[in-house]
Structure 1
């Protein structure tokens, strides 16, 4: 049953306009214009998925969760580049394309079409939103949603259909799975509005489910969890006090309630299926983890992540441009599963997000990481918009920081493309999309891994504007 429609003006929603505005044209282009010199060792494809409503939303729009998926791809080889973008065509999008308009409302509106509009199968169902991330595992290219079934894509970005992993994971997986570089296993979780509220699973390197949905003991209410981390021993899930409230949503209120008095809990879930270990802390929210690894001596876990004081979606106040040393910034937590405690250290209190490392270092101590950042210089940046990149070298005593001010460019998540044949995390290049705030042109930037603060060695002109956000991946060409 649909909730009553409320007044909604998409032209007044910041994340539906300007540099975040969706694009509807699907484009193929070869021979991209390149400023500078594209490194010869970059041979592969950079893919990025993000919210991109096919039609003007109705009822509500909640960035960064709402919106159809669109994957942008830049193929690089022998100093040349080509581009293609494609929608992730779910059955709901196909129905809307047939109608020529949006039929499902945004998440907060609870507007669901009936059988007279979309048929019995889709009637009164929630719209799939595989618009957050894109990863490849076991030969499958997956467009990922927030705790829902991913959609499988072809190498040319055609939509092949919903992926349930041979029916073993019908409820779906997280938008941020983690793959162990040593074992090839992909660990996932899924939260739900009904019991069991939180489950975890493991998919083997052959794509087969090795452990089906396993409930996490101690979770008795539905909570939102965006990201996870993985160590050689544990899945690491941070359960901030963001609780779903469907009753409130059906009555015009928020479908998420922030309850700081509950505090934040961290679950260490043994990968061998052992008893979940819990640690407790004061309330905080995280969108994204950097990485986690086991301490060699005392059985603890080190977790790096970006910390926020609370969850607030959609409104400009969601991400205040402040430096709050007590609550906000790049943070390291040391989790003691025996004592159930968390010790935290601030690594940087700048406004940063979208952290990435060399993915080959996942589950082990990482020495370098990158983030999108706020230079503090530009006015008018929206939540989720950044005008600088920062890199942290944590191999030495303390933390060494490098930064590149992007000037008039708004930049996205930096993704590392390692140089083939080397294991060093500074041998390679960082890739990110950027949009010029003066003319809305978009570019793929290529920055050197050994000295990224010097700025891009190559800028590739993208033939369409790439809306800001969210996550991407580098897939090297297989030899």
Structure 2
């Protein structure tokens, strides 16, 4: 059903459907990629990335990075060779649109939903699944993750197996950025919703069984958007920026996201042992992604250190523009006092950055290095496009940058050297696409001297649209 007359929409004028972001529709397999340089023989596993990739030309609206069908891009590495495969995450909505030969659902802001004559009674009047943001492997499952919904499980060959709700234990699903504790193997997750309970958190054991079902985060009495989280040994850390859902406005043709800076930003420290919730508050800021967090000392009142990428305001949707002035941001550290409910923020680096990553073996523990996509200041980049990679040293404050020239780069992911501790030995991996000819590459940087540039480049047989998040999955014994 069309709940209102959709706004006039021209997909050819949407930046995130153009250039390096433009979707691809072909699914391909190539057994032996062309490589420049030498792929390190220690890399044995799969680099896998997810991202929004509309199967058909969008109708009604398109809001990056939330809208779009998921497409997985995988590079398998072994013995200095590489192979590639990409596959759509095949949701019921995508399959219905393939049968129709065109888009049936509009973007989230348009509220266009097909009726029963078009898709049958089960899908009629429903939102489409959007498992297009991240991908993780945990407890025997490989999951393509949506913003806040049930993920979709895929097999080792990237074929879609179906929606995952952990046997009904997590019926509302999870968000796109769960965190796996490298010590316990637990995956801590959260989920936000448009109806009560508005915010919950859960724990999935290392074996894939849910050990803590959806637990309400008290003190959240309206629907909010919270994209990412952090983890420490004691806490799950949630940053609640003042971004609220306004379903009534969306039904009337307005924006479904409302930025309300006068309400400030709160941080929830959720004890993993089930103890009392701790809160801290500060002036309004927006955050897409955390870098990492850790407990700075023993005892329940020890400070929590949170590194993240801060933005001065929301950077998506209508509320992100015009009269609010230019958006600013950078790599930031917050030191949170659980007892006093206060936080002190320090800007570590003013460079325009996003997609921060650390060695995943250090999640929840003190880290030294962080890698981020960044800009060099050129004027021809689209919003959310980056042309360099920056590595930041939290001990010294120094940073190193590799400028990519005509390449648009994605999120860097760390692949540790097998048998080495978390000491920076390994390689950073990412996709990059040439803005001049659309050629895409898989890049491998040495962690010891990443600014020297890639030691290997593997040519990808199709253009890889700029996407979102991925992971390194070493071959399991």
Alpha-carbon separation, structure 1, partners of 2:440 and 2:326: 29
SS at 1:116 equivalent: helix
8 Å Cα contact 1:323/1:351 also seen in 2:
no
Q: Give the Å deviation of 1:314.
A: 5.0
The residue that corresponds to 2:461 in the other structure is: 463
Q: Give the Å deviation of 1:379.
A: 2.1
Q: Give the Å deviation of 1:312.
A: 2.9
SS at 2:121 equivalent: helix
1:232-279 residue CA offsets vs partner (Å, 9 max, x unmatched): 111000000000000001111100100001000000001111111110
Q: Give the Å deviation of 1:424.
A: 3.2
**2:297 paired with 1:299:** no
1:77-135 residue CA offsets vs partner (Å, 9 max, x unmatched): 11111000000000111111111111110000000111111111111111010000000
Structure-to-structure mapping, 1:265-304, within 5 angstroms:
265-297=266-298, 298-304=301-307
Q: Give the Å deviation of 1:448.
A: 0.2
**2:32 paired with 1:34:** no
Alpha-carbon separation, structure 2, partners of 1:10 and 1:235: 39
**Equivalent of residue 412 in structure 1, options 410, 413, 417:** 410
Structure-to-structure mapping, 1:31-110, within 5 angstroms:
31-110=32-111
The residue that corresponds to 1:389 in the other structure is: 389
The residue that corresponds to 2:379 in the other structure is: 379
Distance 1:319 1:465, change over 3 A: farther
SS at 1:459 equivalent: strand
Distance 1:130 1:318, change over 3 A: farther
Alpha-carbon separation, structure 1, partners of 2:322 and 2:412: 20
Alpha-carbon separation, structure 2, partners of 1:319 and 1:51: 26
8 Å Cα contact 2:143/2:152 also seen in 1:
yes
8 Å Cα contact 2:240/2:267 also seen in 1:
yes
Q: Give the Å deviation of 1:395.
A: 2.8
Alpha-carbon separation, structure 2, partners of 1:243 and 1:142: 27
SS at 2:95 equivalent: helix
The residue that corresponds to 1:230 in the other structure is: 231
The residue that corresponds to 2:314 in the other structure is: 311
Q: Give the Å deviation of 1:375.
A: 1.2
Q: Give the Å deviation of 1:425.
A: 3.5
Alpha-carbon separation, structure 2, partners of 1:55 and 1:71: 17
Structure-to-structure mapping, 1:172-211, within 5 angstroms:
172-211=173-212
8 Å Cα contact 1:391/1:403 also seen in 2:
yes
Q: Give the Å deviation of 1:3.
A: 2.4
8 Å Cα contact 1:308/1:329 also seen in 2:
yes
Q: What TM-score comes out, normalization by structure 1 length?
A: 0.97
Alpha-carbon separation, structure 1, partners of 2:414 and 2:195: 38
1:27-84 residue CA offsets vs partner (Å, 9 max, x unmatched): 0001101011111101111000000000000000000100000000000111111000
The residue that corresponds to 1:122 in the other structure is: 123
SS at 1:66 equivalent: coil
Alpha-carbon separation, structure 1, partners of 2:319 and 2:270: 35
8 Å Cα contact 2:359/2:422 also seen in 1:
no
8 Å Cα contact 1:187/1:200 also seen in 2:
yes
Alpha-carbon separation, structure 1, partners of 2:175 and 2:82: 31
The residue that corresponds to 1:112 in the other structure is: 113
The residue that corresponds to 1:160 in the other structure is: 161
The residue that corresponds to 1:431 in the other structure is: 429
8 Å Cα contact 1:172/1:190 also seen in 2:
yes
Q: Give the Å deviation of 1:351.
A: 0.3
Alpha-carbon separation, structure 1, partners of 2:476 and 2:157: 16
The residue that corresponds to 1:146 in the other structure is: 147
Alpha-carbon separation, structure 2, partners of 1:356 and 1:211: 27
8 Å Cα contact 1:368/1:425 also seen in 2:
no
1:385-429 residue CA offsets vs partner (Å, 9 max, x unmatched): 100000011234xx1111111111110000000010001342100
The residue that corresponds to 1:214 in the other structure is: 215
8 Å Cα contact 1:318/1:383 also seen in 2:
no
The alignment covers a number of residue pairs equal to 473
SS at 1:93 equivalent: helix
8 Å Cα contact 1:425/1:449 also seen in 2:
no
8 Å Cα contact 1:323/1:349 also seen in 2:
no
Distance 1:318 1:145, change over 3 A: farther
The residue that corresponds to 1:258 in the other structure is: 259
Aligned-pair RMSD on alpha carbons?
1.6
8 Å Cα contact 1:279/1:337 also seen in 2:
yes
8 Å Cα contact 1:329/1:346 also seen in 2:
yes
What runs of 5+ residues in structure 1 fail to find an aligned partner?
none
Alpha-carbon separation, structure 2, partners of 1:110 and 1:234: 37
Alpha-carbon separation, structure 2, partners of 1:225 and 1:79: 40
SS at 1:120 equivalent: coil
